[in-house]
Amino acid sequence: MCKTLTYSQNRKCLICEKAIFGRSDKIYCGINCKNHYHSEVRKTTKTISAETIKLIHKNWKILASIMTEKGNQVTTKKVTLQRLGFNFDVATSVHTKFGFYNLGIFNYTYYVTKNDTVIILQNKDESEITPFLFKRLLLQFPLE
């Protein structure tokens, strides 16, 4: 016995809002709408990834410049880092120690104390990002 295509007035394509014929779980009217939807999802994901990499890179550059000027452990105010453009919302690692959240950007670890003082340490467990790896990241996610 052959099943016929059915039409339901309640079902419409997510992209063009045309009526959908066919299976009950179908959500696009055709392959063009399906491809358009997945293309937009890929663009959005790539954009978000690239912007996150930019923020991480900027944070790493700020921490690296502070650490090369002052030594292995630096204490500074949160406002100072914010003025330099540091974004406290992104990190590459999170650890808890002594009741503080230690956030990491590659080979640097920092934590914010209760009086908005930031203590920055160079993490000896993680090696510095190599120029080769950094170039590969830049090819995948350009900074411009």
Residue 73: its pLDDT value, please?
84
Residue 68 has pLDDT above 70, yes or no: yes
Strand partners, 94: 103
Q: Is the separation of the CB atoms in 60 and 86 below 8 Å?
A: no
Tell whether 2 is covered by a domain.
no
- Name which of 1-5, 100-104, 138-142 the model is least confident about: 1-5
14 pLDDT above the threshold of 60 = yes
pTM, 2 dp: 0.60
| Residues comprising the chain, all counted | 144
pLDDT at 52 over 80: yes
Residue 127 counted as domain residue: yes
Residue 9: its pLDDT value, please?
56
Domain total of the chain: 1
Q: Is 106 exposed, middle or buried (0-12, 13-18, 19+ CB in 10 A)?
A: buried
Q: Which of 71-80, 96-105, 114-123 has the lowest mean pLDDT?
A: 96-105
- Residue 1 maps to a domain: no
Confidence (pLDDT) at 53: 87
Q: What's the confidence (pLDDT) of residue 125?
A: 62
- The percent of residues above 70 in pLDDT, for the chain, comes to 78
Q: Domain range for residue 36?
A: 7-140
